[in-house]
Structure 1
Amino acid sequence: MAKPRKKLPARAVDIFCANCKTKLFKYRKGGKGALVKCFIERITENYTKVPCHCPHCEQEFARETMIRGTPAYKIIGGKVTHK
């Protein structure tokens, strides 16, 4: 499969922890579907101290993985919300 496009999508969304509503990062999301994965190169502002863990409640919200040869966070269902 092809890698994600180099040009970032125009739409930026804020990703929040579903448990404590802490802002995790600002992400350039393409499409209008659910948030399933976050490519690391599309994260514009990162507020986490430890990757894939909420800085406030320490809950794991994603797992680091490679998707189509690109590093990404695979989101665990129900752990994050976005606006």
Structure 2
Amino acid sequence: MAKPNKKGPVRTVDIYCAGCRLQLFKYRKGGKGSLVKCFKERITQDFTTNQINCPHCEQEFARDTLVRGAPALKIIGGKVTFK
């Protein structure tokens, strides 16, 4: 299967915890849709310790997985917001 584009999109979004509004990532997102998955190679800044739990409220917001052969985070619905 095809891997995601290494360079990726240029638009950067800030990803926040929906519970406590703490910033989790800066991410290069492509497209106009909702945030379903985050490819780890597109995360430009990481403000978490383990990329799965919020460091402030300890809520689990994602699961580790492989998408098209590349490591990614599957976002749990309603646990994060982005701008």
Equivalent in the alignment of 1:70: 70
CA distance in 1, matches of 2:33, 2:51: 24
How far the C-alpha of 1:6 sits from its partner, in A, is 1.4
TM-score normalised to structure 2 length: 0.97
Moved over 3 A (4+): none
Equivalent in the alignment of 1:59: 59
Using the aligned pairs only, state the percent identity.
70
Unaligned runs of 5+ in 1: none
How far the C-alpha of 1:7 sits from its partner, in A, is 1.4
Equivalent in the alignment of 2:23: 23
TM-score normalised to structure 1 length: 0.97
The root-mean-square deviation of aligned C-alpha atoms, in Å, is: 0.7
- Number of matched pairs: 83
How far the C-alpha of 1:8 sits from its partner, in A, is 2.2
